[in-house]
Chain A
Amino acid sequence: MRELTYVQAINEALKQNLERDERVFLMGEDIGKYGGIYQVTAGLLDKFGPQRVIDTPISESGFVGAAIGAAMTGMRPVVEVMFIDFTTCAMDMIVNQMAKIHYMFGGKGKVPLVLRANLGAGRGTGAQHSQSFHAFFLHIPGLFVVVPSTPHEAKGLLNTAILNENPVLFLEHKKLLPLTGNVPEEYYTIPFGKADFKRMGGDMTIVATHAMVHRSLNVAEMFAKEGIEIEILDPRTLKPLDKESIIESVKKTGRLIVADEGPVTCGVASEISAMIAEEAIEYLRAPILRVGSPDAPVPTSPLLEKAYIPDEDDLIQAVNKMKAFL
């Protein structure tokens, strides 16, 4: 079995899609000659030429909008916004245009594009380049939001995203870029709306996204020594969300921790907590705990940034709190 990094897996997916479908093209800042800020699109310009790998001016609204127009008229663009933080420069295009066109126009017109962006703190990139506010996009009907946590999932889910007829936000976590994993060479897809049980356990459930998945796995190993078995569920796509699997796990363990790197207030964890409180409250044996970033901008100084990021220490704190309800 072949091992690729998260970056290589995405690169391969893009390459294979550019090969198999001439309607697919890439657009974004510095994705061509430079190969992308984190080298995710390295080598693709050479292989496919400037018609299909376009280096854009710094105008998110303009080129995301252009991707929309192109998608509406027969193409299948994969447009990159360098950091999720910059999607704010294209908010009208994302919120008022791509998310609504199919609906507003009564089911006519569709926007089959993929908007790739990276998120997450941990590389000292500071307040405007490290955010994880993907929860914004869950709040806008009409968008799909994909959050792969492994190289295998990154490739499979990106393939599915490109095939999908809806606008898909495909979000890559900075800290996962060098992560290696088994990635089949052939073309394959992973369905949206299907969570993955990364670990089975009976005592409590952690629903985790992106880097929180791996941090939770580390923490689970530690607690296993104490005889506490933690179940870890990775939604993989936040929209569409696999509610059923989450409820199933809560029914079993009765104790839920939701871990997502966005700020806690009104984040992904809040939505999942509310959903469980509404649909599965009678199974709860403990309050629902949310682990996420604090309600503060991301600081740069390393110790501060480390304190900011929700990591193993914060998860351990949550599990310990939960232990009192065992």
Chain B
Amino acid sequence: MHLTKDRAMSKSNVPDGSEVLRAVPLVRWVAKKERIDLSLVKGTGPEGVILPKDLERFRTTQSAMGTVVPTEKRSASSLARKLATKKGISLEKMSGTGNRGRIMMADVARAVEKGAIFLDGQGMFGQTLPMTQMRKAIAKRMSLSVFTAPHIYFFTDVEMDALNRRREEILPDFERKFRIRISINDFFVKAVALTLGEFPILNSRLQGEEIYIMPEINVGLAVALEEGLIVPAILRADRLSLAEISQIRTDLVDRARTRKLKWEEIERGTFTISSLAQFDITFFTAILNPPQSGILSIGKETDHLALREGKVVTKKIARFGLSVDHRVIDGVLAAKFLESLKHRLENPSLGSL
């Protein structure tokens, strides 16, 4: 009788009908700090309020799904973070030997050696996980893509040495002049954009029984978030300088990670590049990003032995894959495209990269 009586409002009355998120203060605090999207968390408290244990369960689930676990929580050096992300390891339960328990690269390396588990597997088995909105959307699109567009796949090995050297050369200049850190992906974007210029059919979409060549070349770069892949596109990438591509790429990827992209920035893409080069993946087949007609997949760079003029040399090889919509593009065209791209990448000085 004397408790603060029935709550004044059980349901929110937000006019557009969307439910207001309900979470206890501690949960909000943690979610804010760790950049967790609470709309993805199911609450088991009274009236569906999100409790700390629900948040915990969510984080466990996320790391189990192999999506990149937000690692901002633990104090760690940037090298440690890079390595952990590359290896797909969660920093959460790792012990750090740095200042005040800070995780250093050596700690991550050691964890890798010891075979650190990135799955926080306790309690996962036997659980039923709900699909998030994004997951559902991805499922729908990928199904549509695979079941309507006949995919054909092509692979080629690209020698990366020249490109790497070129990058090394211009890196300090770019940093000094433009304050940007050129990534190998920037070269890929430029190369792909220029090559698309030569092969417009790969920059098209099927519309009924017509093939519409897109007016602009907007190359998208796939970014992995915890909940799925998102592909912001660089507008008119063929007309941009490497520096410009780099700047735009940096901004788009950042905003992808902070969920601040505009829909239009995703929608405008005409061709997609998807890279798993940070992982130990030699090559993979990518599913077209509808309504696009082509997608480039990039595998990890590895050392190979080769003979050159009778001598044994090492080369850095990355295996590129191209998937195209066979309704629009034939094998020969695809092969030519890939060949041209490879040539460009292997001869950066010639290909205006």
Contacts and interface: CB of A to CB of B under 8 A. Distances in A.
Do A and B touch (CB < 8 Å)? Answer: yes
B29 interface: yes
Interface string A285-307: 11101111110000000000001
List the 6 closest A-B pairs by CB distance, nearest first. Answer: A282-B29, A284-B25, A310-B2, A281-B25, A324-B46, A314-B2
Contact of B52 (A285, A293, A294, A314): A285
Contact of B3 (A254, A283, A291, A325): A291
Given A282-B25, A282-B26, A292 B45 contact: no
B192 interface: no
**Which of A286, A294, A310, A318: most chain B CB closer than 10 A?**
A286
Given A310-B2, A317-B3, A318-B3, A324 B45 contact: yes
A269 to B, nearest CB: 9
8 contacts: A254-B26, A264-B4, A283-B25, A284-B25, A285-B51, A291-B2, A293-B2, A325-B46
A47 interface: no
A321 interface: yes
B20 interface: no
Contacts of A286: 24
Given A285-B52, A324-B46, A325-B45, A290 B4 contact: yes
B9 interface: no
Contacts of A314: 1-3
Interface residues of A, number: 23
Interface string A123-161: 000000000000000000000000000000000000000
**Which of B2, B24, B27, B52: most chain A CB closer than 10 A?**
B2
B279 to A, nearest CB: 37
B3 A289 contact: yes
Nearest to B49: A325
Given A324-B46, A325-B45, A325-B51, A289 B4 contact: yes
Interface of B: 1-4, 24-27, 29, 45-46, 49, 51-52
B3 A290 contact: yes
A307 B2 CA distance: 9
Contacts of A317: 3
Contact of B24 (A285, A307, A321): A285
Given A285-B26, A289-B4, A291-B3, 13 more contacts: A254-B26, A282-B25, A283-B25, A284-B26, A286-B24, A289-B3, A290-B3, A290-B4, A291-B2, A292-B2, A294-B2, A310-B2, A325-B49
A182 B288 CA distance: 81
A324 B25 CA distance: 15
A307 B1 CA distance: 8
Nearest to A307: B1
Interface string A4-47: 00000000000000000000000000000000000000000000
Contact of A321 (B1, B3, B26): B3
A292 B4 CA distance: 9
A286 B49 CA distance: 10
A217 B4 CA distance: 21
Contacts of B52: 254, 285
Contacts of B45: 324-325
A287 B27 CA distance: 13
B1 A325 contact: no
Nearest to B51: A325
A264 B24 contact: no
A10 B1 CA distance: 33
Contacts of B27: 285
Nearest to A255: B24
Contacts of B49: 325
Contacts of B51: 285, 325
Contacts of A292: 2
Contacts of B25: 281-285
Nearest to B1: A294
**Which of B4, B26, B46, B52: most chain A CB closer than 10 A?**
B4
Contacts of A283: 25-26
Contacts of B2: 264, 291-294, 310, 314
B23 to A, nearest CB: 10
B15 to A, nearest CB: 25
A325 B24 contact: yes
Nearest to B33: A282
A264 B4 CA distance: 8
A284 B4 contact: no
A316 to B, nearest CB: 11
A81 B2 CA distance: 28
A50 B114 CA distance: 87
Nearest to A314: B2
Contacts of A285: 24-27, 51-52
Interface in A260-292: 264, 281-287, 289-292
Contacts of A281: 25
A23 B129 CA distance: 75
A324 B44 CA distance: 9
Nearest to B46: A324
B337 to A, nearest CB: 55
Contacts of B4: 264, 289-290
A59 B27 CA distance: 56
A303 to B, nearest CB: 13
Nearest to A283: B26
A287 B23 CA distance: 10
B8 to A, nearest CB: 12
Nearest to B29: A282
